[in-house]
Amino acid sequence: MSEKKIEVIRNKIISIENYPKDGIVFRDILPILNDYTAMSYVLDVFEEHYKQITFTKIVGTEARGFLFGVPLAQRLNIGFVPARKKGKLPPPVISETYNLEYGTDTIEIQADALNSNDNVLIIDDLLATGGTVNATYNLIKALGANVEHAGFLINLPALGGEFLLNKNNLQTFNIFNF
Protein backbone atom coordinates (compact mmCIF):
# COMPACT_ATOMS: atom_id res chain seq x y z
CA MET A 1 0.00 0.00 0.00
CA SER A 2 1.25 3.42 -0.90
CA GLU A 3 1.84 5.45 2.25
CA LYS A 4 0.87 8.62 0.37
CA LYS A 5 -2.49 7.14 -0.59
CA ILE A 6 -3.12 5.91 2.95
CA GLU A 7 -2.30 9.35 4.36
CA VAL A 8 -4.67 11.09 1.92
CA ILE A 9 -7.49 8.69 2.83
CA ARG A 10 -6.81 8.91 6.58
CA ASN A 11 -6.89 12.70 6.50
CA LYS A 12 -10.43 12.56 5.10
CA ILE A 13 -11.83 10.46 7.97
CA ILE A 14 -13.26 12.74 10.64
CA SER A 15 -13.62 11.49 14.22
CA ILE A 16 -16.69 12.87 16.00
CA GLU A 17 -16.84 12.17 19.74
CA ASN A 18 -20.10 11.33 21.50
CA TYR A 19 -22.01 10.79 18.27
CA PRO A 20 -24.55 9.33 17.73
CA LYS A 21 -24.58 8.87 21.51
CA ASP A 22 -22.30 9.44 24.49
CA GLY A 23 -19.19 7.28 24.58
CA ILE A 24 -19.15 6.60 20.83
CA VAL A 25 -16.48 7.97 18.48
CA PHE A 26 -18.12 8.15 15.05
CA ARG A 27 -15.80 7.82 12.04
CA ASP A 28 -17.24 10.04 9.32
CA ILE A 29 -16.16 8.70 5.92
CA LEU A 30 -18.37 11.00 3.84
CA PRO A 31 -15.50 13.42 3.10
CA ILE A 32 -13.83 10.54 1.21
CA LEU A 33 -16.83 10.35 -1.10
CA ASN A 34 -16.65 14.09 -1.67
CA ASP A 35 -13.02 13.89 -2.84
CA TYR A 36 -12.30 12.20 -6.17
CA THR A 37 -8.66 11.53 -5.30
CA ALA A 38 -9.36 10.04 -1.86
CA MET A 39 -12.12 7.80 -3.23
CA SER A 40 -9.87 6.67 -6.08
CA TYR A 41 -7.15 5.85 -3.57
CA VAL A 42 -9.55 3.71 -1.50
CA LEU A 43 -10.43 1.76 -4.63
CA ASP A 44 -6.74 1.51 -5.57
CA VAL A 45 -5.90 -0.02 -2.18
CA PHE A 46 -8.72 -2.58 -2.40
CA GLU A 47 -7.88 -3.41 -6.01
CA GLU A 48 -4.19 -3.86 -5.23
CA HIS A 49 -4.98 -6.15 -2.29
CA TYR A 50 -7.45 -8.36 -4.19
CA LYS A 51 -6.05 -8.33 -7.74
CA GLN A 52 -4.50 -11.81 -7.48
CA ILE A 53 -7.83 -13.44 -6.53
CA THR A 54 -10.49 -14.24 -9.11
CA PHE A 55 -13.91 -13.12 -7.90
CA THR A 56 -17.13 -13.30 -9.87
CA LYS A 57 -19.23 -11.02 -7.64
CA ILE A 58 -18.96 -8.46 -4.90
CA VAL A 59 -21.68 -8.46 -2.26
CA GLY A 60 -21.99 -5.08 -0.58
CA THR A 61 -23.91 -4.61 2.64
CA GLU A 62 -26.46 -1.84 3.02
CA ALA A 63 -25.81 0.97 2.70
CA ARG A 64 -22.21 2.09 2.75
CA GLY A 65 -20.95 -1.21 1.37
CA PHE A 66 -22.64 -0.12 -1.85
CA LEU A 67 -20.51 3.03 -2.00
CA PHE A 68 -17.27 1.06 -2.23
CA GLY A 69 -18.58 -2.23 -3.62
CA VAL A 70 -20.12 -0.93 -6.86
CA PRO A 71 -17.09 1.01 -8.13
CA LEU A 72 -14.73 -1.78 -7.02
CA ALA A 73 -16.84 -4.34 -8.92
CA GLN A 74 -16.56 -2.14 -12.01
CA ARG A 75 -12.79 -1.97 -11.63
CA LEU A 76 -12.59 -5.75 -11.25
CA ASN A 77 -15.01 -6.29 -14.18
CA ILE A 78 -17.43 -8.32 -12.08
CA GLY A 79 -21.02 -8.04 -10.92
CA PHE A 80 -22.36 -6.45 -7.75
CA VAL A 81 -25.03 -7.92 -5.47
CA PRO A 82 -26.66 -5.80 -2.76
CA ALA A 83 -27.36 -7.28 0.68
CA ARG A 84 -30.24 -5.16 1.95
CA LYS A 85 -32.42 -4.72 4.98
CA LYS A 86 -35.67 -6.67 5.06
CA GLY A 87 -38.32 -5.57 2.60
CA LYS A 88 -36.07 -3.53 0.30
CA LEU A 89 -35.52 -6.12 -2.45
CA PRO A 90 -38.11 -7.59 -4.82
CA PRO A 91 -38.84 -11.30 -4.30
CA PRO A 92 -37.76 -13.98 -4.26
CA VAL A 93 -35.24 -13.33 -1.50
CA ILE A 94 -33.51 -15.30 1.21
CA SER A 95 -33.20 -13.78 4.67
CA GLU A 96 -31.00 -14.03 7.74
CA THR A 97 -31.91 -12.52 11.10
CA TYR A 98 -29.05 -11.57 13.40
CA ASN A 99 -28.62 -10.06 16.84
CA LEU A 100 -27.89 -6.43 17.55
CA GLU A 101 -26.88 -4.88 20.85
CA TYR A 102 -30.58 -4.21 21.58
CA GLY A 103 -32.75 -6.47 19.42
CA THR A 104 -32.44 -8.07 16.01
CA ASP A 105 -32.27 -7.10 12.36
CA THR A 106 -32.75 -8.98 9.10
CA ILE A 107 -30.72 -8.81 5.90
CA GLU A 108 -31.72 -10.22 2.51
CA ILE A 109 -30.23 -11.16 -0.86
CA GLN A 110 -32.20 -11.99 -3.99
CA ALA A 111 -32.44 -15.75 -4.28
CA ASP A 112 -31.16 -15.87 -7.86
CA ALA A 113 -28.26 -13.41 -7.42
CA LEU A 114 -25.60 -16.02 -6.63
CA ASN A 115 -24.94 -19.68 -7.34
CA SER A 116 -22.31 -22.38 -6.92
CA ASN A 117 -20.21 -20.91 -9.76
CA ASP A 118 -19.65 -17.67 -7.85
CA ASN A 119 -16.60 -16.69 -5.82
CA VAL A 120 -17.67 -13.72 -3.71
CA LEU A 121 -15.91 -10.80 -2.03
CA ILE A 122 -17.91 -9.03 0.70
CA ILE A 123 -17.31 -5.27 0.93
CA ASP A 124 -18.47 -2.90 3.66
CA ASP A 125 -17.27 0.39 5.08
CA LEU A 126 -16.91 -0.67 8.71
CA LEU A 127 -16.33 -3.87 10.66
CA ALA A 128 -17.61 -3.53 14.22
CA THR A 129 -19.21 -6.58 15.89
CA GLY A 130 -19.42 -8.46 12.59
CA GLY A 131 -23.12 -9.30 12.89
CA THR A 132 -24.23 -7.88 9.55
CA VAL A 133 -21.31 -9.32 7.61
CA ASN A 134 -21.66 -12.70 9.32
CA ALA A 135 -25.34 -12.80 8.33
CA THR A 136 -24.35 -11.81 4.78
CA TYR A 137 -21.76 -14.61 4.77
CA ASN A 138 -24.47 -17.10 5.82
CA LEU A 139 -26.75 -15.95 2.98
CA ILE A 140 -23.98 -16.28 0.40
CA LYS A 141 -23.20 -19.80 1.61
CA ALA A 142 -26.92 -20.70 1.60
CA LEU A 143 -27.02 -19.82 -2.11
CA GLY A 144 -24.13 -22.22 -2.72
CA ALA A 145 -21.51 -19.59 -3.56
CA ASN A 146 -17.95 -19.58 -2.28
CA VAL A 147 -16.92 -16.75 0.03
CA GLU A 148 -13.57 -16.51 1.77
CA HIS A 149 -12.81 -12.78 1.80
CA ALA A 150 -14.28 -9.58 3.23
CA GLY A 151 -12.85 -6.08 2.87
CA PHE A 152 -13.47 -2.98 4.95
CA LEU A 153 -12.32 0.60 4.99
CA ILE A 154 -12.30 0.59 8.81
CA ASN A 155 -12.05 -2.15 11.45
CA LEU A 156 -12.87 -1.55 15.11
CA PRO A 157 -10.87 -4.46 16.61
CA ALA A 158 -12.10 -3.89 20.17
CA LEU A 159 -15.64 -4.88 19.10
CA GLY A 160 -14.61 -8.39 18.01
CA GLY A 161 -15.99 -8.55 14.47
CA GLU A 162 -12.75 -9.75 12.94
CA PHE A 163 -12.59 -12.65 15.41
CA LEU A 164 -16.19 -13.65 14.62
CA LEU A 165 -15.58 -13.63 10.87
CA ASN A 166 -12.26 -15.45 11.15
CA LYS A 167 -14.07 -18.26 13.03
CA ASN A 168 -15.93 -18.87 9.75
CA ASN A 169 -12.60 -18.90 7.88
CA LEU A 170 -13.49 -15.54 6.36
CA GLN A 171 -10.25 -13.66 5.71
CA THR A 172 -10.63 -9.98 6.49
CA PHE A 173 -8.74 -7.02 5.10
CA ASN A 174 -9.10 -3.45 6.27
CA ILE A 175 -7.34 -0.24 5.41
CA PHE A 176 -7.54 1.24 8.92
CA ASN A 177 -7.91 0.06 12.52
CA PHE A 178 -9.42 2.47 15.02
Catalytic residues: 64, 101
- Sign of the CA dihedral running 146, 148, 149, 155: positive
φ/ψ region of 13 (left if φ > 0, alpha if ψ in -120 to 50, else beta) reads beta
Whether 69 and 59 have beta carbons less than 8 Å apart is answered as: yes
Pairing of strands 146-155, 119-127: parallel
Q: How many CB atoms lie within 10 A of CB 117?
A: 10
